[in-house]
Chain A
């Protein structure tokens, strides 16, 4: 087992507006003003996203999903950054960013459909202003930059946000995305969730310097934020989006957080990390932190928290029943949308499969 120093998880310089104990703290550069109702709705989002994640993990263990990539522990980074996007902005998430897709209005069942294996997508990206989950590490960073270049060509004040993790910062595509964004002054925000682990590899296997510092070499600002502090994440992301809209170019945000679960349901983190690391991060839980803040400030009472729990219970039922009820796609579906225009080879094979299936007559051909 690799010995992991707890020094590796300390981030003294990260922007913070809410301490792990739920105390509001001031920062000289960043702040955010939110109404009481908004603060409560953030808590609701976090709880509901975590509940979807918990149900999905269970459904995978029951064999209802082929795989699940849990966002446990990263909800504040995802929901916080997603909530400050405008409707016209466009998000480019990874396969773990369920909190982001939630804020774009993607129904939870649509997030899960890919993991059940009934589709490779799940929603209409142009309608939700949210790209499909990208599985190849770092590919989507370039898509976000290209989209932002298109925004500039349009003369619009929309912005794009590209999500990736600490592991992706080693990928060529992410570094090329930094170059293209910089030289074309693209209105894009790079949102890196440094969850400390790229499957089994710690962050120091990806970079010798803090991730946010790498932005300087590409010619744009980088900022590190406490990724488990939803208020700080919102403040920092909104500031970066404003810069993008104002024509000031890209920003790299490093949200310092932690992957509380395994990489995916196929992974066994006990082989490479200590349980005490988890204990440290459990004390920094993003939801508990906001809950304590809301309660201490008198912004939410027991009744509110109970009501959110009830809503989460109802959502859990929708998720469990909905996943099991997803229709099996017909064999012909594999030929759909391979091309936008007619394609003779696809049509030939589509007919051949239909004829083959029909040759079984009343027998069911699996």
Chain B
């Protein structure tokens, strides 16, 4: 599989994984390894980012994984910026997955506050990966501000509904000059394969792995699906047609004569 580049850094894996909702930090650690991911995101509200002995953090091998702090829980740009600064001061990591989700139920991202926070954070030297609704114009505005990626959602987070926003995602993929990471709502390996097939650069999965009957096996399945989808995309998939087209043309013999 070809490599992924975000903010000048290259990665072999195109699967990013979240660390919430697992039954234990140990199961999480095994699933992270099985996923083949190189970027793992961790909610600043769940960990003591300045404490390496934190139950979750100590299970994440920093040699293997880039730790991507996220601002989950922030309702405003101010809160997200404050959390990001705190995380950078404590860890030296200047990457942040920007999440501004004022609605505690569907956790949908606020476009206004996200753009505001992204502007501030980029100016302060952060590598910003913003979680957004699948809004092509917002994606462009963020790209203009200088974010490292855009992370549009496939469907509401944790919903396992797959690519409900496919039509908009296709526009974002077509137009974006930064990597597009489809984030949220990807409930099955077939969903991530679909996202990769339409040209997403990467995907982020959490709930579907963490709450599976066997999270480690599910992480493996997602790894394979990401790879399958990416390779299919690179291989140049043909568009579906309404008329039949046989693999071996039935009337081919007429042309030979």
- Please indicate whether A and B come from the same complex rather than being unrelated chains: no
* B contacts, CB < 8 Å to A: none
